Amino acid sequence: MSSSPPSKKIRVADLSSTMSSSEKKPKVVVVGAAGGIGQPLAMLLKLSPLVGDLGVVDVVGTEGIAADLSHLKPGAVLGHPPTKDPPEPLRDADILVVLAGRAQRPGESRDDLFKFNARIITSIAKQAAELCPRAMVCIVSNPVNSLVPVFSEVFKSRGCYDQRRIFGINTLDCVRSRTFVAERKGLDVEEVTVHSVGGHSGPTILPLLSQTKPATSFTEKEVEELTFKIQDAANVVINLKAGKGSSTLSIACATYYFVSQLIEAMTGSEDVVVTAYVRSDVIPELSYLATPLLLGPNGAEKNLGLGELSEYERKKLTEVVVPELKANIQKAVEFCEAELGTKKD
Ligand SMILES: NC(=O)c1ccc[n+]([C@@H]2O[C@H](COP(=O)([O-])OP(=O)(O)OC[C@H]3O[C@@H](n4cnc5c(N)ncnc54)[C@H](O)[C@@H]3O)[C@@H](O)[C@H]2O)c1
Ligand SMILES: O=C(O)C[C@H](O)C(=O)O
């Protein structure tokens, strides 16, 4: 499977499960659950046959959201009252999905969000280190390229870091890639896989069109146009929403796909491949990179690397992605040195 919609064809709100009712289903907690992504994502997770207890946490009260979701089907939904700290629903979470923080507005870049979201992620990471240090952590909040290193540094400083368990979610780039390729080439979107590598911000988003499955040929012009369309897709939504948020529905769905695949791998499926932004040795100059990963019960079991790149992809990677990601990671390192007293490893 690709990082995009699940290999096992787990469809949204598909209520038939491959998991037997006797298996313990993981507890999933969404932080930032009252926001534009949080609410639809929590609904999808509540409907999922793969999810056990569901926790919804925010800085505004989430008890109403929990009550609302609890009418959909039986099973615990744990809301968080605004006054309680630390958020009790986080305790013993198996999967933590972090959506907390500000989204882009017209004219802003993902990188511009760092000054708002880095401290929010730091405080959530400290809470998670205390309450669910073994959770699989899915970081959706932007800028993903810098916040994954920040979250990781907090976990290192608390002695609970396991690089296999922390994922930056770039699934939406893969979902957009396969949708736009399917549209352009008249293919069935369910059959198309495109891995997007690099990071999750305009120029660092690098869809590997040369590795599209099923094998598909593109002219140079098509590669240029599709790559730009995928990199710029967020801006199209942000500008059309005109100050009322960024992508919420597509990312809620993309995150749901990712979490579904993670659960499949955690509960025994052996062939689950996703793309995510993780701690990496694939390119020596970069300590974090999005690549395809083989998942297993403990998270990312094997980094599948970049595969064979086209000349266009190799050039973009070395000339654009690497320097930009280096700067994004360095920004996180400097923030952590100042805030946590950490040193680069
Ligand atoms: N990775 C991706 O592909 C992708 C795609 C779209 C959006 N995003 C990012 O996801 C994030 C959320 O987007 P949104 O549209 O839901 O934003 P939103 O503003 O609608 O919701 C954010 C929520 O976070 C909550 N929050 C703030 N501080 C918190 C804290 N300390 N603890 C718990 N909750 C806290 C807010 O109260 C709010 O409910 C943004 O950073 C956005 O840029 C990522
Ligand atoms: O920053 C955002 O909110 C946009 C988001 O990352 C997206 O890809 O749509």
Tokens representing residue 72 in the block: 């959909």
pTM, 2 dp? 0.94
**Ligand 1 and 146: CB distance under 6 A:** no
Told to judge if 200 belongs to the known catalytic residues of this protein, a careful annotator would answer: yes
Cα of 15 to ligand 2 centre, how many Å?
Answer: 29
**Ligand 1 and 104: CB distance under 6 A:** yes
Cα of 114 to ligand 2 centre, how many Å?
Answer: 13
Cα of 18 to ligand 2 centre, how many Å?
Answer: 32
Cα of 270 to ligand 1 centre, how many Å?
Answer: 32
**288, containing H or E segment:** strand 288-296
Determine the residue type at 130: E
Site residues for ligand 2, CB cut-off 6 Å:
103-104, 110, 142, 172, 234, 237, 246-247
Cα of 16 to ligand 1 centre, how many Å?
Answer: 30
- pLDDT for 9 equals 44
**Ligand 1 and 99: CB distance under 6 A:** yes
Residue from 71, 80, 195, 200 carrying the catalytic annotation: 200
Per-residue pLDDT of the chain (345 residues; tens, 9 = 90+): 344 444 444 343 343 344 444 468 999 999 999 999 999 999 999 999 999 999 999 999 899 999 999 999 999 999 998 876 789 999 999 999 999 999 988 998 998 999 999 999 999 999 999 999 999 999 999 999 999 999 999 999 999 999 999 999 999 999 999 999 999 999 999 999 999 999 999 999 999 999 999 999 999 999 999 999 999 999 999 999 998 999 999 999 999 999 999 999 999 999 999 999 999 999 999 999 999 999 999 999 999 999 999 999 999 999 999 999 999 999 999 999 999 887 655
Reduce the DSSP state of residue 228 to 3 states and report it: helix
Q: Report the candidate in 329, 290, 338 with the shortest Cα–Cα distance to residue 119.
A: 338
CA nearest ligand 1 atom 38, residue: 35
- Give the C-alpha separation, 136 to 118, whole Å: 20
In this structure, which ligand is nearest to the CA of 248?
Answer: 1
**Ligand 1 and 249: CB distance under 6 A:** no
**Ligand 1 and 87: CB distance under 6 A:** no
- pLDDT for 344 equals 52
123 CA: nearest ligand 1 atom:
31
Tokens representing residue 239 in the block: 């500008």
245 CA: nearest ligand 1 atom:
15
- pLDDT for 10 equals 39
- pLDDT for 343 equals 63
Whether the upstream peptide bond of residue 323 has omega within 30° of 0, thus cis, is no
- pLDDT for 345 equals 53
| 8 Å CB contact between 13 and 49 | no
Predicted ipTM? 0.98
Of 31, 58, 60, the one to substitute when testing ligand 1's pocket (max ligand atoms within 8 A of C-beta) is 58
> How many other C-beta atoms can be found within 10 angstroms of the C-beta atom of residue 249?
12
CA nearest ligand 1 atom 21, residue: 35
Cα of 7 to ligand 2 centre, how many Å?
Answer: 24
**Ligand 1 and 202: CB distance under 6 A:** no
**Ligand 1 and 147: CB distance under 6 A:** no
**Ligand 1 and 320: CB distance under 6 A:** no
Q: Report the candidate in 313, 314, 290, 316 with the shortest Cα–Cα distance to residue 303.
A: 290
